[in-house]
Amino acid sequence: MKKKKSLFVATGDELRQEVIKKERGEELTKAMLRHFERFHSLSEIFDRDVEEQILLEELKNLQNPKQLNFEKGLVTFSPSSASKCERELYYKATRAEKDEQPMLPYQRRWVRNGSAVHAAVQKDLLLAEVHLKNPAFTVEKMEDGSPAWEHNLKNVKQFDYNDIRFQVFGMMDGILNYRDGSRIGFEFKTKSTTIGAVGNYKLKDAQESHKEQAIAYSLLFGIDEFIFVYESLAKDGWNKGVEAKPDIRAFYFKPSEEQKTNLLEKFARVAAMVERGELPKPEYDKCLFCPFKEVCSKDGDQ
Ligand code: SF4
Q: DSSP characters for 24-43?
A: HHHHHHHHHHHHHHHHTTSP
Beta carbon of 210 within 6 Å of any ligand 1 atom: no
15 or 176, which is more confident? 176
CA of 87 from ligand 1 middle (Å) equals: 6
Domain presence at residue 149: yes
Is residue 128 within 8 Å of 186, Cβ to Cβ? no
How much is the pTM? 0.91
Q: Are strands 76-77 and 164-170 parallel, antiparallel or unpaired?
A: parallel
Instruction: Output the pLDDT for position 3.
Output: 47
3 part of a folded domain: no
DSSP readout, 159-197?
A: EEETTEEEEEEE--SEEEEETTS-EEEEEEEEE-S-GGG
For the Cβ of 118 lying below 6 angstroms from any atom of ligand 1, the answer is: no
The answer to whether the CB of 89 is under 6 A from ligand 1 is no
Whether residue 160 lies inside any domain: the answer is: yes
Average pLDDT over residues 93-103: 93
Distance CA 51, CA 46 (A): 8
Query: Rounded CA gap, 256 and 219, in Å?
Result: 11
Q: Answer whether residue 46 is part of any domain.
A: yes
Atom of ligand 1 nearest to the CA of 84: 7
Domain of 150: which CATH number? 3.90.320.10
Considering the chain, what percentage of its residues have pLDDT values greater than 70? 97
Within a domain: residue 1? no
Does some domain include residue 4? no
> Is the CB of residue 286 below 6 angstroms from any atom belonging to ligand 1?
yes
Q: What is the pLDDT of residues 176-235, one digit of tens each?
A: 999 999 999 999 999 999 999 999 999 999 999 999 999 999 999 999 999 999 999 999
What letter represents residue 219's amino acid? L
> In this predicted model, what pLDDT tens digit does every residue of 109-161 receive, in sequence order?
999 999 999 999 999 999 999 999 999 999 999 998 999 999 999 999 999 99
pLDDT(7) > 70:
no
Structural domain range at position 282: 12-299
211 domain-assigned = yes
pLDDT at 302 over 80: no
Question: Looking only at Cα atoms, what is the longest distance across the chain?
Answer: 73
Residue 6 counted as domain residue? no
For the chain, the domain total comes to 1
Residue 15 confidence class, pLDDT cut points 50, 70, 90: confident
